Chain A
Amino acid sequence: MVPEVRRLRSVVDTGPVPPSDEDLLLATARGDQQAFAAFYDRLSPLVHGVVRRVVRDPAQSEEVSQEVFVEIWRTAVRFDADRGTARTWALTMAHRRAIDRVRSEQAARDRTQRVVDSEHARAYDEVSERVEVGFEHDQVRTALGTLTDLQREAVQLAYYQGYTYREVAELLDTPLGTIKTRMRDGLIRLRDALGVSA
């Protein structure tokens, strides 16, 4: 086992080509804490960015981001490079965790009150330490521009505001079946505009 560990460590420390996110995650799966720390340094601004956008509350967002990285450490062995990038894997986990937190927080609250609160939260949203990633932001904004209004709103309300499709249907006063279909064909159009492959 020892030569194996040394080889992986050298992936992190040296080498002319920096290790890919996937390399770091695969090394993490084998218990390499240095690789995990490097993965954290690279991905934490993205992960925390997603979590902050959905959860909003800074203290809760910290907790969720910490949970996400502990989960990444614990389940790194499940990452399968054939099914997507390490970045997608981490951001999917971050979004799911953020949504779960928002849902458990809001479960007890009155539904109407919740929508009102979120409308307020949206107004204060831009105060955070968020930095737009220029190139990525422009590309995605252009791609979002190819969607119909309903597709775009359905996708954004779900992804950024954390609403269920039922809540989106209510907010947009549109039948449930239509919202589900718009989420799917909206994302498919985005996928094609961005040239995403899994």
Chain B
Amino acid sequence: MSEQPDLHTLTGAYAVDALPDDERALFEAHLAVCAACAQEVHELQATAARLGATSVTAPPPHLRAQVLARIDTVRQERPPATPAESDELAARRASRRRVTTGLGAAAAVLLIAVAGLSAMVIELRAQVGELEVVAAQAEQAGAQVTALTDRLAELEAREQDVIVTTSAVTDVLAAPDARTVLVEHDDVVGRVVASPNRGEAVFVADGWEPAPHEHTYELWLISDDGAVPAGLFDPDERGRATRVLTGDMSAARAVGITIEPEGGSPTPSDDPIMVLELS
């Protein structure tokens, strides 16, 4: 078990590219909103570059021609189109953009989920549209339209749900006081990113097996008064899950995870399989 009480200490590991990919993404989300860390990172990157500049190795001569031929076929990025904005506004925008592009792995998973759902919604909308035309000609298609319309409504609701979750996750990850607690059993990783100021926390799972048949994983906020339910999660096919914890964070000193019958339980039915100490 390990603990990362303070994201601010990761500047050094980040500057020498020593953070694993998922932590790098989390830290970049933090960098977008923490000016002190961003400044320190710039300085430490400049320092790391000095380590790199102690020796040179001339690339083979043919590489030059290859590179120059390649750029002939590569379009350059354009400057951001914000000519009319004040500097402050532009900076704020840029910072928001960085938050979006630097999103944590957790949020990225959700964004992919949104994209997937959105694609399905678009697809179904198209199908409904087509079927409505057919329905005008053949009444028996009506039942099909109804079924598809119901499915579309259900998917649209889920899409909305995922979008709301994604923005909640992003807010917590980007909070200046965000702290990460990580527990690792072999390749099974549980991570809680908590923002005491916001009173919010996100649980991120990686490498988890599916819960046993007709069971689910349940999260608990553990305080001196006991454990209260904080949400259910089921890992996706890659063993990942992201869940915004529900309930009052202020008294919680740990987050626990148990296996419960499908639908969850009001109190834990067994000892937790993982506990993440928050302080």
Contacts and interface: CB of A to CB of B under 8 A. Distances in A.
Interface of A: 29, 31, 33, 36-37, 40-41, 44-50, 52-53, 62, 65-66, 69-70, 73-78, 83-85, 87-88, 91-92, 94-96, 99, 103, 128-133, 136-137, 139-141, 155-156, 158-160, 162-166, 168, 175-177, 179-188, 190-191, 194, 196-198
B12 A75 contact: no
Given A44-B58, A45-B58, A133-B53, A33 B20 contact: no
Contacts of A66: 63, 66-67, 70
Q: What band does the interface of chain B fall in when counting residues whose beta carbon is under 8 Å from A?
A: 35 or more
9 contacts: A29-B76, A74-B77, A76-B77, A78-B77, A92-B48, A165-B19, A177-B4, A181-B12, A183-B16
Contacts of A168: 18
B148 interface: no
Interface in B198-238: none
B2 interface: yes
B57 A77 contact: no
Contacts of B76: 29, 31, 73-77
B153 interface: no
A180 B4 CA distance: 10
Nearest to A192: B47
A95 B63 contact: no
B3 A133 contact: no
A164 B46 CA distance: 19
Interface string B47-77: 1111111111111100110111011101111
Given A77-B76, A130-B57, A162-B17, A37 B68 contact: yes
A191 B18 contact: no
B57 A180 contact: no
A91 B49 contact: yes
Contacts of A37: 64, 68
Question: Which of A40, A85, A168 has the most C-beta atoms of chain B within 10 angstroms of its own C-beta?
Answer: A40
B43 interface: yes
B274 interface: no
A95 B48 contact: yes
Interface of B: 2-4, 9-13, 15-21, 39, 42-60, 63-64, 66-68, 70-72, 74-79
A155 B47 CA distance: 11
Nearest to B68: A37
A92 B16 contact: no
B54 A136 contact: yes
Contacts of B46: 84-85, 88, 191, 196-198
B55 A186 contact: no
B153 to A, nearest CB: 41
A153 B57 CA distance: 23
A177 B12 CA distance: 12
A95 B13 CA distance: 13
Contact of B13 (A33, A52, A87, A183): A183
Given A49-B52, A177-B2, A187 B47 contact: yes
B21 to A, nearest CB: 7
A166 B20 contact: yes
Given A49-B52, A160-B51, A44 B63 contact: yes
Contact of B43 (A166, A179, A180, A197): A197
Contact of A33 (B44, B45, B52, B71): B71
Question: Which of A168, A177, A180 has the most C-beta atoms of chain B within 10 angstroms of its own C-beta?
Answer: A180
Contact of A62 (B3, B43, B45, B60): B60
Nearest to A69: B67
Question: Which of B52, B58, B72 has the most C-beta atoms of chain A within 10 angstroms of its own C-beta?
Answer: B52
Contacts of B59: 44-45, 47-48, 62, 65
A185 to B, nearest CB: 7
B71 A132 contact: no
Given A74-B76, A158-B16, A177-B3, A196 B47 contact: yes
B54 A103 contact: no
Q: What are the 10 tightest A-B residue pairs by CB atom distance, in nearest-first order?
A: A184-B12, A198-B42, A183-B12, A45-B56, A158-B18, A91-B49, A48-B59, A158-B16, A50-B52, A49-B57
A159 B12 contact: no
A140 B54 contact: yes
